[in-house]
Structure 1
Amino acid sequence: MQVSSLNEVKIYSLSAGRSLPEWLSDRKKRALQKKDVDIRRRIELIQDFEMPTVSTKIKVSRDGQYIMAVGTYKPRIRCYDTYQLSQKFERCLDSEVVTFEILSDDYSKIVFLQCDRYVEFHSQHGHYYRTRIPKFGRDFSYHYPSCDLYFVGASSEVYRLNLEQGRFLNSLQTDASENNVCDINPVHYLFATGTAEGKVECWDPRTRNRVGLLDCALSSVTADTEVDCLPSISALKFDGALNMAVGTSTGQVLLYDLRSSNPLIVKDHQYGLPIKSIQFQHQLDLIISADSRIIKMWNKDTGKIFTSMEPEYDINDVCLYPNSGMLPVFMSYLIQKGKKRTLSFPDKSEHTF
């Protein structure tokens, strides 16, 4: 276990350090643990919490019992049971997964958006059904009141697939050339999509009309910001009924109140890399934003940095474990042979493991 500190915030990297080869017998493992101090101090919370090559997306079920991760090569999904601290199952897929969503409270209903335009549905026993969307998809969101899946991608249209009727409905026509990301507000179910032109379009699913438009590209460029091209939207996340955070391809995070067209705070990562993930941590009123190089945790009211983490490998996705005061962060990044995913716990208080 490695311990680092930034701004008096301790970060415990529990899985950092040397690992034992899986082909060793239990007797030889015990012998090595007696001789090597680093191996003896190593803590593994979940067995086999890794991917053979690359892990791209990671999510936690709503009941908090299961952690699901997709990766390559071969394209696969792995499900981990946090109660048993072990891998529950693994399934291989036909093509790489762009993103996925857990529709149920546990792992029994999963939707995968794949790189070959296929949308694949899995139930508890395995593969259930697959269909195809007209254009290559980049993201999707699920609207629970109407059972609609909203797909955005390399098109100006937002495709709607109704799971209750089992058919596609009329698409939403945006003004963008392409749509990169989307999200649905969990309170009033406003649908928002981030475009390649750096704008966010908000739609009312009840009337299927556009109700708002934000020019985030113009707002992200300030006096001390250097950009080489027009920023596009690379991340989007709602928080409550009125707050929305937007990440750009040039490394800025903008926090909006939906009642205003001007951002409350503009936070620059200073690396010029696209923002890949935005999460809200309500216990400490933090926003956790990540690009491929760094994870920054900062106060959503003042913008002051709480702490940051720079792992050894590129970050692909960040997921928060729900209802946890210790602020666990699961980082999914490129994994080399012998290296595993890191589970870090930053907290201001002292902890003994």
Structure 2
Amino acid sequence: MPTVCTTIKVSKDGQYILATGTYKPRVRCYDTYQLSLKFERCLDSEVVTFETLSDDYSKIVFLHNDRYIEFHSQSGFYYKTRIPKFGRDFSYHYPSCDLYFVGASSEVYRLNLEQGRYLNPLQTDAAENNVCDINSVHGLFATGTIEGRVECWDPRTRNRVGLLDCALSSVTADSEINSLPTISALKFNGALTMAVGTSTGQVLLYDLRSDKPLLVKDHQYGLPIKTVHFQDSLDLILSADSRIIKMWNKNSGKIFTSLEPEHDINDVCLYPSSGMQCVAMSH
């Protein structure tokens, strides 16, 4: 990218690596089979995050920083619509074809791609929501709030089924915290495991059957956790803030290794079923 690479993801079939950056706002798609740039598309505004809905690059949804949702097909731009408040993250619920958008609002906006219309939003107790994720096994929707809580919702009944106070659990005896931790990262793994990253640099590992964390890992830098990923073959968790990527055992919390690049980290993604990771950074 000319200046900054903001987000990076690998397609589900593992053939394409997609990255967004600036300036000017653009998306680039790389073909791993040919080891080359497949295409580059310039966009109207910066991308907050994006998701591939298909196995390859033929269906992509972009969330922009000017509230626009942009859909791209294989040939290029397809359609754009707008959400009422500024968005920060979104997740796709495959069984119902619903996109769930969270952002600077207490509501979670739902856009149904089968009917092509907005559905009634979910009303959370939070002032604002930062991140969200959907469990691929049983479909539980979780959103992380600026009050340091994680709210869990059942998409079938549209009712809240659980509430975790992660801000309280992240404060341990040896941690120094100057402000209320907000939720900055969220990731499910399997049916019962969830990792939560806070804005004060802690990663909490939860079993969904308990409201107490199994493990609290502190990055010691006081920087917001950007991403959390699970590496199942080695039982590792990869957590990244803007300065360091830490890899640690999910059972014991013991550090496996750390990566501290020269430039700021914006995003990390794991290549499926391998030990390779892709990192989006600032120049």
Q: TM-score, normalised by structure 1?
A: 0.80
CA distance in 2, matches of 1:234, 1:176: 14
CA distance in 1, matches of 2:231, 2:2: 30
Task: Give the partner amino acid of 1:312.
Answer: E
Residue of 83, 87, 109 corresponding to 1:133:
83
- Equivalent position of 2:224 in the other structure: 274
- Counting only pairs closer than 5 Å after superposition, residues 148-163 of structure 1 correspond to structure 2 as 148-163=98-113
Q: Deviations over 1:218-241 (max 9, x none)?
A: 000011000000000000000000
CA distance in 1, matches of 2:75, 2:162: 42
- Counting only pairs closer than 5 Å after superposition, residues 327-342 of structure 1 correspond to structure 2 as 327-335=275-283
- Equivalent position of 2:154 in the other structure: 204
Structure 2 residue 63 is matched with structure 1 residue 124: no
Structure with greater strand share of residues? 2
CA distance in 1, matches of 2:132, 2:143: 4
CA distance in 1, matches of 2:30, 2:3: 18
Task: Give the partner amino acid of 1:80.
Answer: Y
In structure 1, the gaps of 5 or more residues are 1-50, 336-353
Structure 2 residue 241 is matched with structure 1 residue 241: no
Q: Deviations over 1:267-295 (max 9, x none)?
A: 00000000000000011000000000000
Q: Deviations over 1:101-127 (max 9, x none)?
A: 000000000000000000000000000
Q: TM-score, normalised by structure 2?
A: 1.00
CA distance in 2, matches of 1:138, 1:96: 12
Shift of 1:157: 0.1
- Counting only pairs closer than 5 Å after superposition, residues 1-353 of structure 1 correspond to structure 2 as 51-324=1-274, 327-335=275-283
Give the secondary-structure state (helix, strand or coil) at the position aligned to 2:233: coil
Aligned alpha-carbon RMSD (Å): 0.3
CA distance in 1, matches of 2:236, 2:41: 35
Between structure 1 and structure 2, the one with the greater Rg is 1
Give the secondary-structure state (helix, strand or coil) at the position aligned to 1:214: strand
Shift of 1:203: 0.1
CA distance in 2, matches of 1:186, 1:199: 21
CA distance in 1, matches of 2:218, 2:265: 17
Task: Give the partner amino acid of 1:191.
Answer: F
CA distance in 1, matches of 2:232, 2:110: 32
Task: Give the partner amino acid of 1:212.
Answer: G
CA distance in 2, matches of 1:332, 1:171: 32
Bigger RCO (CA 8 Å, 6+ sep): 1
Give the secondary-structure state (helix, strand or coil) at the position aligned to 1:283: helix
Identity %: 82
Shift of 1:329: 1.4
Hey, which bits of structure 1, 4+ residues long, moved more than 4 A? Answer: none
Task: Give the partner amino acid of 1:148.
Answer: D
